[in-house]
Chains A and B, each alone.
Chain A
Amino acid sequence: MNEVRRRSAVHVPQGFGAPHRPGQSGPTFLDSRQYHALATRRQRLMVLGGLFGLAWLVLVFQLFNLAVFNGDRASGASTRIVSVDKTLRRDIVDRNAQLLATSLKTVTLYADARDIADADEAARGLMSVFPEFDYADLKKKLESERAWVVLRHDLTPRQHASVHALGFPGFRFEERPRRIYPKGSLASHVVGFVGSENKGLIGLERTLNDALASDSADGPVELSLDLRVQYIMRDELIRSMLEFKAKAATGLVLDVTTGEILALVSLPDFDPNDIGAASNNQLFNRATMGVYEMGSTFKAFNTAMALDGGKIDIDDQFDASAPYKVANRTIHDFHPENRWLSVAEVFMVSSNIGSARIAHQVGAERQSEFLERLGLFDRAEVEIPEIGRPLLPVKWGPTETATVSYGHGISVSPLSIAVAMASLVNGGYKVEPTILRQRDYDPGTRTRVVREETSRQMRRLMRQVVTQGTASQADVPGYSVGGKTGTADKPSAGGYDRRALITSFAGIFPSDKPRYLVLALLDEPKGTPKTHNYRTAGWNAAPTVGAVVRRVAPALGVRPTAEVSPFAETAQLASTQR
């Protein structure tokens, strides 16, 4: 056969329609049916070729994308690839040098069975060190001629020395670092954990991977956490979760001046020593990653916004005598006062109507500007990777202005709330949260968020919420707790679920000159006989914070004021005598 004939066979139309003669040895002729089948196949072949072409285009595009336009990855990557798993990662400790994570050099015993001359002798020798080994199994392994037979992980130094002393050439040791978390689940979400390759996968272990993997000679990484406070926070949250049958809980303690986080708890949590057992629900960091509609806690921001603008006075009156119609919805109060309320009263009795009217008077533009200034529109950055982005209203109309004023239609993380709240009460300065210890905190670099006078007024109002308002159960004699409760219906498909609540309390102490902010949030708490079946924040989140303050204040060196000191009388006596 030659080229010409092949061609003629290819260019079918030449033979198209020609009568078919059996046994013909000339050019191939196709009848119309065959011709159509061939035409279809060819058309589809071209489609196939086109698809392959497209696929290659995508691959080439991605190749250029990665190799040419991805310098960041290349520079960061070299450290990631190079940091071999043999480095002994640095310790992580709390502010009082309590150990949270450490690395141990562990030794694995393996055999290169090709170097074992006498498997029987070697097996007997090894059993003198490890009597628990099975002789038959061991002998089989040692006879296997395989280069890498693992015999035992985590040898003690004594076992290591004994096997070494046996002197068989086929036994080898491999040193591997192992990460240990002595405090287990106590600070699991903050510390995180490393994977099997000794690289940090979540939490600080991930963010600080390069620093931690450098060299253990550099000394430990110091956290701002205080494990005593962390323990108490976790303990009280567990207690409340069980008592109120909540699905989850989270809480944190923040130094309102330095931004240092002393405790950060998200429940349920997990044991970083056994990450295989942890579910996604346990791994989820509710304090920083979770975003919630916080409800009335937001009224603190609304009130501060009104007072800080200078146009509204704390005694100005707003009409809360009847439900307030805004666009297509009507705003009600949970405990209607049915009268005009001052700005202070709106905050204290937690009036939705009053808050919405205040927000409308201030206006949407200033409202969103103010909330953005508090950092509520951005992720609250802290040194762990699990940070949630706030969910903001898509448009900012009159309805949104109203709902946001009492904490609905906007979802932020508990950490965001704590940080914004801290700026309101610490004299009005922006707080940069951190979980690393700030040894040389320099107050000179702070930027102002609200006026000092506003901050003073907010402190007083928050104290009144505890003494006269919804949060009386958060009070701890002597520590002057202030704060704001929030009870929100949980958003559900197409609206809100009235049966499921998120309750929270953000408390400060001592409220005349706050040092710490304590926030507790419960996910779907239930009523109990003790709370007369109430489920609102004042009955569960507020007492949780109260219990935490009662226990942590002495540890943190906050001195109780005279009103409760057991020595109060003596002290007064002494002062009157003088």
Chain B
Amino acid sequence: MISCALGFGFAALGIALAMNLWRLLKGPGPEDRILALDTMVINVIGLIVLAGIASGDGTSFEAALLLALVGFVGTVAFAKFLLRGDIVE
């Protein structure tokens, strides 16, 4: 039961990552690419959560939390660079 749901989840997140990669490569402007990278981070956090459920131990959630932190900081840094031409002024 749970393995069927996990298989569906892995497949859905894999397809979602492929779509994000398409937008990352094609996206007309840099802000589209920032958005695609942000969404990729979100989907990878989902993959880590599902892998944590599949393996049954709780240690992978630290990785998910770290990726959430780093992904947010990266998105804000990219957007700040587009806005100001600099990150830390």
A associates with B: no
